[in-house]
Amino acid sequence: MIRTHRLALADRDELLNPHLYRQISARAKLGTCIYALIGVTARFSLFHSDRLGAFNGDEAYHFTVAPVGRRITTEFARDGRKNNALMSLASHAPGSDWDNDSLKLVPTRFVFRQRDRALAEESLRWLDIDTDENAHLVKQLQTETAPMRSEDFDSVPPNRRGECFMRDALGRMGRAKVLGLSSPDRRRAAGTTPGRQATV
C-alpha cells in the first residue's frame, strides 16, 4: 500500500504544453513522477507472474493524466488477463479519465452512487444501460444507492455501504454490494483518513 494523499499533481494541459510545463511547481512534477513510478512498478512486478496479482488504486485520473500512466492503464486493460495481472482503478468520470478504447476493454464494471445526474447517466451508459428508457435507474443510482443522510461519509448507514450496480464479464447487469473487511483491525485501518501533517 502506498499513501499518496498529499501529493500535488500537474494536469494534462500542463504536461502536454511546454510553456505550461515550465511553470509547474517542483512538488507537482514530483507527484506526477511518483504516480508514474507506482504504475511502472505495478506493471513490472505483476506482468508475467506465476501468481495472479492486482493493481488497485483510487482516483484513476491520478494515473491517466500523464502519458505514461495512460500507457500503463491501457496495457493492463489490453494485456493484463493474459499476463496474470488485474487492475482496478476507481473513477468519478470514466469517460474523461480513460481513453475510450481502453474503457471498452474493461469486462467487469462497478458503478457506485453518483449524485450528479450527468455523471450518473454517463456511468450507467458505461454499463450499456439505455438511460432514456431506464430513467428510474438514474434516480436509483443518484438517491437510492448507499444513500447519504448528510454530506458526511459516516452518514451512509453501515448496512447500505458498498451498494452499487455491476456488469459482469458476460454483460449481465444487476445490483451488487461490495462488503467491507471482515477483520476488525483491518476495517478500522481502512476507515481512517491519513493525517494532514505530512507534506511532499
How far is it, in rounded angstroms, from Cα 108 to Cα 171? 8
Query: Are residues 72 and 169 both part of a single domain?
Result: no
Please report whether residue 74 resides in a domain.
yes
Domain boundary among 59, 87, 106: 106
Residue 187 lies inside a defined structural domain of this protein = no
Reported pTM: 0.74
Res 200: pLDDT? 44
Please list the pLDDT of the chain residue by residue as tens digits (200 residues). 777 777 888 888 888 889 998 998 999 888 888 888 998 999 999 998 788 999 888 888 888 888 888 888 888 888 888 899 998 888 888 777 776 677 778 888 999 999 999 999 999 998 999 999 999 999 999 999 999 887 765 688 888 999 999 999 899 999 999 988 888 888 887 777 666 554 44
Are 78 and 41 within one domain? Answer: yes
Residues 113 and 88 in one domain: no
Q: How many separate domains does the chain show?
A: 2
pLDDT of residue 195: 62
Which residue from 56, 82, 76, 81 is spatially nearest to 4, judged by alpha carbons?
56
Question: 102 and 15 in one domain?
Answer: yes
Q: What is the pLDDT of residue 115?
A: 92
One domain, residues 78 and 167: no
Domain extent for 139: 108-177
User: Do both 132 and 164 map to the same domain?
Assistant: yes
Considering the domain architecture, whether residues 86 and 156 belong to the same structural domain is answered as no
